Structure 1
Amino acid sequence: MAAITSTEKDDYAGEGSDDDLLTWILAWSELVAFGALLAAFVVASWLQPGEFAAGKARLHPVLPVLNTIVLLVSGWSAAAAAVQTGVRQRRGLSAAAVGGLLFFALKIYEYWLEGATLVSSDVFAQLYILLTGFHLAHVVFGSLVLLVVAKFPSRQNVHLITTLWHVIDIVWLVMFPAVYLL
């Protein structure tokens, strides 16, 4: 086992402490924002159970499961990239981004199949588009950032984007049963 020299310790001493704080502030603010939207969705489903049952019946039964698998594999790629360096790190980040873009394509196709529209008087449809669309915007933005970081990786940027990518995964893993299964 290699010993860490004092120079190496100094290089890492305090490195990223401010970045870590900002990463976690951003991660928790994202969780709070999604939590509020999800809470609104759940409360509305309790207040209008018939409308929500009808809305959920219109949803595609398979694509959300496929999207969950895609997002989990993408998250695994991001996690693997976070502990790699060089070419392997770039490939892992790029693979995570490709997974995110595949998620985007499948979600747009799902919206098309479901006839989802932004203009609707149906509370279920409005909240469904708002919640899943907000998540989708994060997936697209995160995918683009993953590609940029893959091109220009730094320890802090890799840590930031992989942490936020996992937040996006966690949000989906909570949203999926609430929107599609319950």
Structure 2
Amino acid sequence: MSTSAEFTGVKRGHLPGDLAMWFFILAELSVFAILILAFAVTQALKPQMFSDSRLLLDTSTGLAMTLSLLTGGLFAALAQEQVRRSRPRRGAVYLLAALLAASVYVLLKLTEYHHLLDLGLGMEHNTFFTLYWILTGFHFLHVLLGMVILGWLAERCRRGLYNADNRSGFESGVLYWHMVDLIWVVLFPLVYVLS
């Protein structure tokens, strides 16, 4: 009888991707943790400013960005499953869908940035917006890099360069994308919702 792990080609006790990528992700998460801690501590020190400033953000836009990134993460996971089954060309299709979902995030975030700048809510406006721009801008750069990685993986899948026995590099790229998702899942409530 085959187990779920055998069916998907995953070995028990095996971390997907390369160890170097895990160290890189840990380093990136550490930087984000410091920024998130700075945001939380400053909010505790200036609760009224943060509450008032948060009202100037559109929570529905933040939710739409969250859904677009999570949808991209779902498609990246589906692509990974196709590669584990040695169907890389199907994986390429899922990666293109992930890129499309990520593009929605980019469009929404750029629209939000433009709107905030039009209102005069740049980095210098107050402490909330200084931290908002640092946190979300740093994350935005990670999304853009993640999209480049997904595009590169899609092209390699299209050429059939990944399969069940050769997927470590592919898994590393998908891991990076999931890190981007995870960070936004923390940033969205922290920046847009919690007071």
- What is the TM-score normalised by the length of structure 2? 0.80
In the alignment, the residues of structure 2 paired with residue 117 and residue 147 of structure 1 have an alpha-carbon distance, to the nearest angstrom, of 33
Does 1:29 pair with 2:31?
no
Q: Would you tell me which structure has more helix in proportion to its own residues?
A: 1
The count of aligned residue pairs is 171
In the alignment, the residues of structure 1 paired with residue 89 and residue 19 of structure 2 have an alpha-carbon distance, to the nearest angstrom, of 28
Residue 181 of structure 1 corresponds to which residue in structure 2? 193
5+ long unaligned stretches in structure 2: 3-10
1:162 to 167, 170, 174: 174
The answer to whether the Cα contact below 8 Å between 1:97 and 1:142 also exists between their aligned partners in 2 is no
Residue 102 of structure 2 corresponds to which residue in structure 1? 100
C-alpha displacement at 1:117, in angstroms?
5.2
- The RMSD of aligned alpha carbons is 2.3
Residue 151 of structure 1 corresponds to which residue in structure 2? 155
SS in 1 for 2:59: coil
- What is the TM-score normalised by the length of structure 1? 0.85
2:56 to 30, 53, 58: 58
Does 1:110 pair with 2:108?
no
Residue 38 of structure 2 corresponds to which residue in structure 1? 40
Cα 1:175–1:161, aligned 2, differ >3 Å: closer, same or farther?
same
5+ long unaligned stretches in structure 1: 3-12
Does 1:123 pair with 2:127?
yes
What amino acid maps onto 2:100 in structure 1? Answer: V
What amino acid maps onto 1:148 in structure 2? Answer: W
Answer 1 or 2: higher relative contact order, Cα 8 Å, separation at least 6: 2
The answer to whether the Cα contact below 8 Å between 1:68 and 1:173 also exists between their aligned partners in 2 is yes
C-alpha displacement at 1:112, in angstroms?
2.0
Residue 134 of structure 1 corresponds to which residue in structure 2? 138
- The C-alpha deviation readout for 1:135-178, integer Å capped at 9, x for no partner, is 11101110111101110144122101111111111111111111
Matches within 5 A, 1:13-28: 20-28=18-26
1:78 to 66, 76, 79: 76
In the alignment, the residues of structure 1 paired with residue 76 and residue 91 of structure 2 have an alpha-carbon distance, to the nearest angstrom, of 9
SS in 1 for 2:173: helix
The answer to whether the Cα contact below 8 Å between 1:60 and 1:113 also exists between their aligned partners in 2 is no
Cα 1:129–1:151, aligned 2, differ >3 Å: closer, same or farther?
same
What amino acid maps onto 2:71 in structure 1? Answer: V
Q: Percent identity?
A: 33
